[in-house]
Structure 1
Amino acid sequence: MTLFSFIAILAVGIAAGFINVMAGGGSLLTLPMLIFFGLPSAVANGTNRIALMAQNIVAIASYRKGGYFDWKFSMLLAVPALIGSIMGAQIAVSMSDDLFNRILSIVMIIVLIIIIWKPHKKLSASQVQDTWPKKIGLLIIFFFVGVYGGFIQAGVGFIIIAALTLVTGLSLVKINSIKVFVVAIYTLSAFVVFIINDQVHWGYGITLAIGTSIGAFLGSRFAVKHGDKWVQRILIVAVVAMAIRLFFKTM
């Protein structure tokens, strides 16, 4: 890894970590940027998991310290997500670069729309009813959450928030504590698939993880004093440009 690539990946990581705190969707920057730096799509996908794991492990520790963690319920949802993520990661490893890039470019635009309009925040929480039909429904939903997370990951947090809001009626803080645990578990299993298939660039991945950690720290401090509107505007321009470039990359 050259000095230029180290500085560039670190900078992208800082920007992604900052955006994750301010608006969400940092992976919309990191994954395509790793591809633009010359990594095959599967390698970029696997490399991106290092930063994701680092972020979620830190978040788990924070929620646990705050007393918001529900280990039993979180583990219940993490199991089907873990199984699904293995399938999703295997699909990503087996897919051609061209097809993956096209799919990623479309997903980026969809997730960007979700970030802007925030439909998940307009959902009404259901009454808390701990019934088996609801639990079975959640298990099925989180299996597919795992498949998607293992495949691409970008924007999966919005899906989890929407599902848990509609079905459980839990507070947003508790929902986020469950989200980071589930994502950490299935990201680990997906990461193993990428490692087994030799689809991880460790130098880029560790550098990216350091960058996202710095960015998250800076973003959390900035968020207290400023709004996120201008961050969203920058994200819109960057993601649309990257999505167009990815879609037409091989044309």
Structure 2
Amino acid sequence: MFYLIALVGAILAGAVNTLSGNGSAITLTILMELLGLPANVANGTNRLGVLGNGFAASLGFQRAGRFTVKKEERVEMTRVVVITTLGAVLGIYLSLIISNEAYRAVFRYLLIVMLVVVLVKPKRWLVAPEGRPTLPQWLSIPLYFALGIYGGFIQMGMGVFFLAIMVLVARYEIIQANVIKALVVTAYTLIAVAIFSWRGLIDWPIGLLMAAGQMIGGYLTARFAAQHPKAGLYAYRLLIIVIIAAIVKAFFL
């Protein structure tokens, strides 16, 4: 029964991760509270699901034609992936030597800030900007590098922060921001899985089961998001729900 709940939870997490973010709040809770894995093993095991989700979401977006972008946009997408991945390598290293508790304490309060940002002027999330400006390197490099550090360290909430940066600062349309998020997460999670595996911090049977679930949820949600005309609105609403749920869990559960 526990493994069935884990599979269903993984499918839901895959859908949440693809359309908004913070699906790891579901999977980490299952791994630690339901299945009783130690925090560091849960962190490592969770990366298998994140990798499967990122790969499946990328495939779903690709098959729906969301990778058809201009040459300059491909160059910028590649830059985001590379910089964020470099930051993630540092974050992965920190996750192996520092307790998660300090970062989780900061994460709780960042969620409140994020909820305010998301609710103020919602049109910024729903209207695709015309003539989107390119961020200057002095701003984009530290932003993407910091996102990578956070994602490499704990992963939980990475999608929420990534979308906020890509939509509100870099001015991407929310579904295209999700496309880039899938690529970024897949790239650095490959490295994370290799490192956690090397350190013996992955429970492979459980991890592969949840990876299968997240691949199913990620692929189906990506196909829906890429083709549905109101997908951006649904992504925005889901983002609000996810942040509120994470705040309730962080402060009251």
What TM-score, normalized by structure 1, do the two folds share? 0.74
User: Partner of 1:39: helix, strand, or coil?
Assistant: coil
Aligned to 1:84: 87
The one-letter code sitting in structure 1 at the alignment partner of 2:5 is: A
Aligned to 2:104: 104
| Of 46, 50, 53, the match for 1:52 | 50
Aligned to 2:30: 33
RMSD after superposition? 3.8
Summarize the alignment of residues 144-159 of structure 1 with structure 2, pairs less than 5 Å apart: 144-159=146-161
Instruction: Provide the aligned length of Structure 1 versus Structure 2.
Output: 237
Tell me, in whole angstroms, the C-alpha distance in 2 between the residues paired with 1:6 and 1:80: 36
The one-letter code sitting in structure 2 at the alignment partner of 1:61 is: L
Q: 2:118 aligned with 1:118, yes or no?
A: yes
* 1:100-124 Cα deviation digits (max 9, x unpaired): 2564366357447746973485548
Tell me, in whole angstroms, the C-alpha distance in 2 between the residues paired with 1:155 and 1:11: 20
| Percent of residue pairs bearing the same amino acid type | 28
Tell me, in whole angstroms, the C-alpha distance in 1 between the residues paired with 2:75 and 2:81: 10
Q: 2:15 aligned with 1:15, yes or no?
A: no
CA contact (8 A) 2:45 2:204 kept: yes
Q: Residues 237 and 76 from structure 1, CA distance in 2 versus in 1: closer, same or farther, beyond 3 angstroms?
A: closer
Where structure 1 has 5 or more consecutive residues not aligned to the other structure, the ranges are 246-251
Moved more, 54-63 or 196-205: 54-63
Where structure 2 has 5 or more consecutive residues not aligned to the other structure, the ranges are none
Moved more, 12-21 or 212-221: 212-221
Q: 2:194 aligned with 1:196, yes or no?
A: no
Moved more, 47-56 or 231-240: 231-240
Aligned to 1:74: 77
* 1:60-97 Cα deviation digits (max 9, x unpaired): 2233330445543222122221121111112112234x
Q: Residues 243 and 193 from structure 1, CA distance in 2 versus in 1: closer, same or farther, beyond 3 angstroms?
A: farther
* 1:194-215 Cα deviation digits (max 9, x unpaired): 1221111111111111222344
What TM-score, normalized by structure 2, do the two folds share? 0.74
**Residue 32 of structure 1: CA displacement?**
2.4
CA contact (8 A) 2:87 2:145 kept: yes
CA contact (8 A) 1:123 1:166 kept: yes
User: Partner of 1:154: helix, strand, or coil?
Assistant: coil
**Residue 25 of structure 1: CA displacement?**
2.4
Aligned to 2:142: 140
Summarize the alignment of residues 174-193 of structure 1 with structure 2, pairs less than 5 Å apart: 174-193=176-195
* 1:114-163 Cα deviation digits (max 9, x unpaired): 469734855486953447xx134212211111100001112222322222
CA contact (8 A) 1:28 1:239 kept: no
| Of 172, 175, 187, the match for 1:173 | 175
* 1:203-238 Cα deviation digits (max 9, x unpaired): 11111112223445676799989x797997799568
